[in-house]
Structure 1
Amino acid sequence: MKRKLQVMTTLLIIALIINGLATAPCTAAEPPSQLQNPQTDSRELQLQDMLVLQLLPYMNEQLEAAYFSLLTTTPQLYPYLVQVEQVERLNGFRGFDFQITLRAFPTVGPHNSVGEDLFTYRISTSQIKLINYKHLKEPKQHNIPPNDLDMRRKSK
């Protein structure tokens, strides 16, 4: 009986420790302040998020090329760090030719922000085409921790 009590107490302590570690605060960088963070879900937000998920591969491809001269690693783009700026129907009501503008905040390492980019895509039934890409902000040295500074390419 005493042995069972010791085992149960030990398991309870281990469970509490593991639970405490699992709920420890995250030390990753906060999302950029320009990013709107909705507090409730909506049908519109769900549809925007689905669209962002479909466009992420295209956006990552463009980021890889744009950041090649700035970073030694390809930045990551997470869906929650992409904001839909504008959506427009190009051929009237119920037309299926859209133009969408997205603001993105790519990261490296443990979510260290390395810039800001603006993408404009044209989406129709037959294609997804990048219309405009604008690199708005460069990686700043103070955004990258000292142990990850080797991710920045040296300026010439």
Structure 2
Amino acid sequence: MKRNIVVISLAMAMFLLSPMQTNGEKAYRPPKTDSTELRMQDMLMNFLNPYINDAVHDYYQHLLRESPLVYSYFVDVIESHRVNGFRGFILSLTLDVTPVVGPHIPVGEDRLTFEISAGPKVRLVKYTHVKTHELPPNWQDIIK
């Protein structure tokens, strides 16, 4: 009898303590170790962050009263390539970003393609709004 109670308690504890995901979305899992690739991506995001936030502001200014922000850890590099061939220094970079308001409440998902060249010059080539997230009731007042 005591053994059954221990087994049931252990099973319940494992179920309750296991990470839960909602809406079929993958939970964000930050990297556990540093790497050269991760440092390079972080440096690139530090450089591009003002351009990303400007593009996001331009898109959402007609939809929201508060401009969302994109934090570097809410950016995924989807594709990069050289526009003008091997060792050419005009690069195309496609990013998936998740703009947020307030305490990291996602307002949507967007795909941005930038062209980066010497100077440095950064030009937004394409902005695609992929998905809109519904805001919680206490944030509905920022919707225009």
How far does residue 62 in structure 1 lie from its aligned partner after superposition? 1.2
How far does residue 35 in structure 1 lie from its aligned partner after superposition? 5.7
Q: Name the counterpart of 1:54.
A: 47
How far does residue 53 in structure 1 lie from its aligned partner after superposition? 1.2
How far does residue 92 in structure 1 lie from its aligned partner after superposition? 2.5
Check if 1:100 corresponds to 2:93.
yes
Q: Name the counterpart of 1:150.
A: 141
How far does residue 93 in structure 1 lie from its aligned partner after superposition? 2.5
How far does residue 79 in structure 1 lie from its aligned partner after superposition? 0.5
Secondary structure in 2 aligned to 1:45?
helix
Q: Which has the larger radius of gyration?
A: 1
The equivalences for 1:1-156 within 5 A come to 33=26, 37-126=30-119, 127-140=121-134, 144-153=135-144
Question: In terms of mean alpha carbon deviation, does 86-95 or 44-53 score higher?
Answer: 86-95
The one-letter amino acid of 2:26's match is: S
How far does residue 52 in structure 1 lie from its aligned partner after superposition? 1.1
TM-score, normalisation: structure 1: 0.70
CA change 1:96–1:35 in 2 (3 A) is farther
Higher RCO structure, 1 or 2 (CA under 8 Å, sep 6+): 1
Q: Percent identity?
A: 43
In the alignment, structure 1 segments of 5+ residues that lack a partner are: 1-31
CA change 1:117–1:36 in 2 (3 A) is farther
Question: In terms of mean alpha carbon deviation, does 113-122 or 59-68 score higher?
Answer: 59-68
TM-score, normalisation: structure 2: 0.75
Q: 2:80, 2:58 → 1: CA distance?
A: 25
Question: In terms of mean alpha carbon deviation, does 98-107 or 84-93 score higher?
Answer: 84-93
Aligned-pair Cα RMSD in Å: 1.8
How far does residue 42 in structure 1 lie from its aligned partner after superposition? 1.0
Q: 1:147, 1:131 → 2: CA distance?
A: 35
Q: 1:74, 1:35 → 2: CA distance?
A: 23
